[in-house]
Copies of this chain bind each other. A is one copy, B any other.
Amino acid sequence: MPAVDICFSPELLPLYKLEGRVAVIVDILRATSSIVTALANGVTHVFAVAELDECTALGRQHGCLTAAERNGVQAEGFDLGNSPFGYLDGAIVTRGRAVAISTTNGTQALRRSLGADAIIIGSFLNLQAVADFARGQQKDVLVVCAGWKGQFCLEDTVFGGALAERLADTFDVRSSDATLAARHLWQQARPDLSGYLLQSAHVRRLNHLEAHKDFEFCLRLDEYPATLPIWREDRLVLLGDR
C-alpha cells in the first residue's frame, strides 16, 4: 500500500526520498492557489521563479505576462500581483497567455523536489484532482509544504491533512508522524477552516494587508476538482496538455 508523507519545510527535503514518489507542492497562501486558478481559467502554462528580476527576464524571453508582489501589493512593472483574482476578474486578459510568477517559498519547494517521479501543484481548490492523480499513480506521495521562510506553516500542513484524509482508504496514512499530526489538525480545522486558519501568524499578517478576499477564496474546497498543474521540463502545465 503506498503511503502519504508530509515534509513541513523545503529545508527538510534532503531527509526524504523523492525517487519513486509523487511530490505535491503546496503554498496555499497564495502561490499554488493562484497557479491552480490560472490554469483552470485558460492560462496556457506557468513559470515559477524566486526573484523579481528572473521573473521580468522570463517575461521578456517568452513574451509572457509577469506576476509578482512585494509587501502585499503588485510589484511595479509587473502585469499581475499574486492574487488568484488576477485570473478571474479580467482587469488584464490572461486566458491563452503564459505567466511567469515570482514566489519565493513556492519556488524553493518546487526546485528541491525535482528528483520526484512527478511534481504536481496542490491547493484546497484542486484537492480532488490531486487525490485522483495520486490514486491513479499508486505511488508514495510526499506533500511538500512551502512553509514560511523555511518554517512550519499551518495552512499548508492542514492541506496535507485534508489530502491524507481523502486518500486514507487506499493509502497508508499512519506510518508518518507528520501525516498523523496533519490529519488531526485537519479534523480540528474542517468544521470552520477559515476561523481555524485565522489564528495563524502568517494569515493574520496577510489579513493586515486587506487580502481577506484572497484568503477566503484560497480555502474553497474543490473549486476546481479536475485541474491538475503538473511540472513538465521547465514549466507547469495542465495535466493532459502537451
A9 within 8 Å of B (CB atoms): yes
A91 within 8 Å of B (CB atoms): no
A174 within 8 Å of B (CB atoms): yes
Residues of B with C-beta under 8 A to A152: 8, 177-178, 181
A232 within 8 Å of B (CB atoms): no
- Choose, from A32-40, A45-53, A198-206, A208-216, the stretch at the interface: A198-206
A151 within 8 Å of B (CB atoms): yes
A154 within 8 Å of B (CB atoms): yes
When all copies of this chain in the complex are counted, the total is 2
A166 within 8 Å of B (CB atoms): no
In the assembled complex, 23 residue pairs joining A and B whose CB atoms fall closer than 8 Å, in A order, are: A11-B12, A11-B15, A12-B12, A12-B151, A15-B151, A148-B177, A151-B176, A151-B177, A151-B178, A152-B181, A154-B177, A154-B180, A154-B181, A157-B181, A174-B201, A175-B201, A176-B201, A177-B200, A177-B201, A177-B202, A181-B185, A184-B184, A188-B188
- A→B interface (CB under 8 Å): 8-9, 11-12, 14-15, 148-154, 157, 174-178, 180-181, 184-185, 188, 199-202
